[in-house]
Amino acid sequence: MKKILFLAVFLTVGMLQLNAQNDFRFGFQVSPTFSWLAVNADNQINTNGSNVGLRLSMNGEYYFRENYAFIGGLGFAFNQGGTLKHDIGGNFWPNSSLSNVEANNSDNALPDGVNLKYKLQYVEIPFGLKMRTNEFGYLRYFAELPVFTLGFNTQALGDISSAQNLDTQGEDIREDVNLLNLAWNIGGGAEFSLNTSTTLLAGVYYGQGFLDITDNAAVKNTGEAEDGNATTRAITIRIGVMF
């Protein structure tokens, strides 16, 4: 965490220095998110709930032409993920110590129909391309596409619930979640000029992960490997200020 804070301070100082140039802008964003998980290659696992989370980020924009910019930054994403329902139970978090489950069996086996909720936290590095219109009065409209986000998992908690009265929350499942996540995002919105150097912005984005967030070490109660790939999906409402 100290390294992350140092990096954030370093980037902020660097952006302040670059901001003296007319072709560079920097700012901050606070972004509510609505995320869920999608599963490929296993029709016995289904999406069964979403997470309401938050993204905090510092962003920079380098304009190589008047209305075209490369964008990047550093962000923190909280409570990402969602809930998956497993029609067939099994040992889905084999590398984690599950408190309420281990008391009943030694192999972390979960019953059929169990719901597993993932609550994930990431440090994110976005990079992409921004396009904007000329100014109309105090407004500009913009689009960002594509924007790729590289995420590093810093925390992974899990909740378990089932019809068999199995209910546990806040299990540490970081050992069963992959460290890296890579996603693409598209979105757009509007900027409102407060003065010659400061603008407020708001936009809506859709994002989709490329990588499986799980490590695929899970085993079903039938003895088969659980080989479904769970990838992130998210709708983000971005609210921020640029200088």
What pTM did the predictor assign?
0.88
Q: Helix, strand or coil for residue 175?
A: helix
What does the pLDDT look like over 131-171, one tens digit per residue?
999 999 999 999 998 999 999 999 999 999 988 778 889 99
Q: Which residue has the tokens 């099994």?
A: 90
Which CATH topology does 2-242 take? Lipocalin (2.40.128)
What does the pLDDT look like over 165-224, one tens digit per residue?
788 899 999 999 999 999 999 999 999 999 988 999 999 999 999 999 998 888 888 888
Give the pLDDT mean for 39-54: 89
For residue 97, give both structure tokens: 């110590």
Q: What gap in Å lies between CA 101 and CA 77, rounded to an integer?
A: 29
9 φ, ψ to 5°?
Answer: -65, -45
- Cβ atoms < 10 Å from Cβ of 146: 10
Per DSSP, the chain holds a count of helices (H) and strands (E) of 2, 11
List the end-to-end C-alpha distance of the chain, in Å, as a whole number: 27
Residues 6+ apart with CB under 8 A from 146: 128, 129, 184, 185, 186
240 φ, ψ to 5°?
Answer: -160, -175
Strands 139-161 and 24-40: unpaired
Q: What is the 3-state secondary structure (H, E, C) of 32-89?
A: EEEEEEEEECCCCEEEEEEEEEEEEEEEEEEEEECCEEEEEEEEEEEEEEEEEEECCC
What single DSSP character describes residue 136?
B
The answer to whether 93 and 176 are in contact (CB under 8 A) is yes
Q: Which of 5-14, 92-101, 226-235 has the lowest mean pLDDT?
A: 5-14
Buried b (16+ CB within 10 A) or exposed e, 125-143: bbebebebeeeeeeebebe
